Chain A
Amino acid sequence: MKTIITVIKKELLDTLRDRRTLVSAILLPTILLPVMLYGFTKISEKVMTKEKEKALKVALLNPPANFDSELDSEKYTIIDSIETMEQGRDAILGDDLDAMISFLDGYESKISGGQTAKVHMWYKSTNIMVKDRLTTIFEKYEKAILDDRIANLDITKETIDPIDLTRYDIAPKKEQIGKLVGGFLPYLFIIFCFTGCMYPALDLITGERERGTIETLLTSPASRFDILMGKVISIAVVGFAAAVLTIMGLVLSLKLIPDIPEDFLDAISNMVQMKSVLMLIVMILPLSLFFGGVISAMVVKAKSFKEAQSIITPISFMIIMPAMIGLLPGIELTWTTAMIPITNIALATKEIVADTINMGHYVFIVLSLVVLAVISVFVSYRQFSKEGMVL
Chain B
Amino acid sequence: MISVRNVQKTYKLNKQQKKELQTSASSINAVNNISFECQPGRVFSLLGPNGAGKTTTLRMISTILKPTSGDIIVANESVTQNAQKVRSKIGFLTGSTNLYDRLTPSEVVNYFGTLHNMSKTDLDQRRDQLFTQLGIHDFSKKRIAQMSTGMKQKVSIARSMIHNPDVVIFDEPTSGLDVITANSIIELIKDCKAQNKTVIFSSHIMSEVDLLCDDLAIISKGDLVYNSSMDDFRRDFSNTSLTEAFINIVNKHSSAAV
A: which residues have CB within 8 A of B? Answer: 2-3, 6-7, 10, 13-14, 17-18, 211-213, 215-223, 387-388, 391
B94 close to chain A: CB less than 8 A: yes
A221 pairs with B159, CB closer than 8 A: no
CB-CB contacts below 8 Å: B13-60 with A: 59
List B contacts of A17 (CB < 8 A): 102-103
Given known contacts A218-B64, A220-B116, A14 and B87 CB-to-CB distance under 8 angstroms: no
Given known contacts A211-B98, A391-B64, A220 and B115 CB-to-CB distance under 8 angstroms: yes
B84 pairs with A221, CB closer than 8 A: yes
What secondary structure prevails in chain A residues at the interface with B?
A: helix
Give the size range of B's interface with the partner. Answer: 20 to 34
**Least CB distance, A213 to chain B, in whole angstroms:** 6
CB-CB contacts below 8 Å: B39-89 with A: 59, 62-66, 84-85, 87-88
A116 to B187, CA, bound (A): 105
Give which listed residue, B66, B90, B93, B99, contacts A387 with CB less than 8 A.
B66
B172 close to chain A: CB less than 8 A: no
**Least CB distance, A365 to chain B, in whole angstroms:** 37
List B contacts of A3 (CB < 8 A): 115
List B contacts of A217 (CB < 8 A): 115
Given known contacts A221-B117, A223-B84, A387-B65, A213 and B100 CB-to-CB distance under 8 angstroms: yes
List B contacts of A18 (CB < 8 A): 102
A391 to B30, CA, bound (A): 15
Which of B106-114, B124-132, B204-212, B234-242 forms part of the interface with chain A? B106-114
Q: Closest residue of chain A to B143, judged by CB?
A: A17
Supply 11 A–B pairs (Cβ within 8 Å), ascending by A.
Answer: A10-B111, A17-B103, A212-B94, A212-B98, A215-B92, A218-B62, A219-B90, A220-B115, A221-B87, A221-B116, A391-B59
Q: Closest residue of chain A to B99, judged by CB?
A: A213
B160 pairs with A216, CB closer than 8 A: yes
A2 to B93, CA, bound (A): 25
List A contacts of B116 (CB < 8 A): 220-221
B: which residues have CB within 8 A of A? Answer: 11, 59, 62-66, 84-85, 87-88, 90, 92-94, 96, 98-100, 102-103, 107, 111-112, 114-117, 156, 159-160, 169
A219 pairs with B64, CB closer than 8 A: yes
B87 pairs with A10, CB closer than 8 A: no
List B contacts of A211 (CB < 8 A): 98-99
Given known contacts A14-B100, A14-B102, A17-B102, A219 and B63 CB-to-CB distance under 8 angstroms: yes
B92 pairs with A216, CB closer than 8 A: yes
A381 to B117, CA, bound (A): 23
List B contacts of A14 (CB < 8 A): 100, 102-103
Q: Closest residue of chain A to B159, judged by CB?
A: A216
**Other A-B pairs, 14, CB within 8 Å; known A213-B100, A391-B65:** A6-B114, A7-B115, A14-B100, A14-B103, A211-B98, A212-B94, A212-B96, A212-B98, A216-B93, A218-B63, A219-B87, A221-B116, A388-B11, A391-B64
**Least CB distance, B180 to chain A, in whole angstroms:** 22
Give which listed residue, B62, B100, B102, contacts A219 with CB less than 8 A.
B62
List A contacts of B100 (CB < 8 A): 10, 14, 213
List B contacts of A215 (CB < 8 A): 59, 64, 92, 94
**Least CB distance, A241 to chain B, in whole angstroms:** 18
A133 to B134, CA, bound (A): 80
| 5 tightest Cβ-Cβ pairs between the two chains A and B | A17-B102, A219-B92, A211-B98, A220-B115, A221-B88
List B contacts of A216 (CB < 8 A): 92-94, 112, 156, 159-160
A2 to B96, CA, bound (A): 29
B107 pairs with A220, CB closer than 8 A: no
Q: Closest residue of chain A to B85, judged by CB?
A: A221
Q: Closest residue of chain B to A216, judged by CB?
A: B92
**Least CB distance, A202 to chain B, in whole angstroms:** 14
List A contacts of B103 (CB < 8 A): 10, 13-14, 17
List A contacts of B169 (CB < 8 A): 219
A239 to B5, CA, bound (A): 47
List B contacts of A218 (CB < 8 A): 62-64
A215 to B59, CA, bound (A): 9
List A contacts of B112 (CB < 8 A): 216, 220
Q: Closest residue of chain A to B165, judged by CB?
A: A219
**Least CB distance, B161 to chain A, in whole angstroms:** 12
A217 to B64, CA, bound (A): 10
List B contacts of A212 (CB < 8 A): 94, 96, 98
A213 pairs with B98, CB closer than 8 A: yes
**Least CB distance, B13 to chain A, in whole angstroms:** 11
B111 pairs with A6, CB closer than 8 A: yes
List A contacts of B65 (CB < 8 A): 387, 391
A6 to B118, CA, bound (A): 12
Most buried by B among A13, A17, A211, A221: A221
List A contacts of B66 (CB < 8 A): 387
A222 to B156, CA, bound (A): 18
A164 to B64, CA, bound (A): 82
Give which listed residue, B59, B84, B107, B114, contacts A13 with CB less than 8 A.
B107
**Least CB distance, A68 to chain B, in whole angstroms:** 73
Given known contacts A13-B107, A391-B64, A221 and B115 CB-to-CB distance under 8 angstroms: yes
A220 pairs with B87, CB closer than 8 A: yes
List A contacts of B84 (CB < 8 A): 221, 223
Q: Closest residue of chain A to B171, judged by CB?
A: A215
A10 to B100, CA, bound (A): 10
**Least CB distance, A331 to chain B, in whole angstroms:** 44
A71 to B110, CA, bound (A): 80
List B contacts of A2 (CB < 8 A): 117
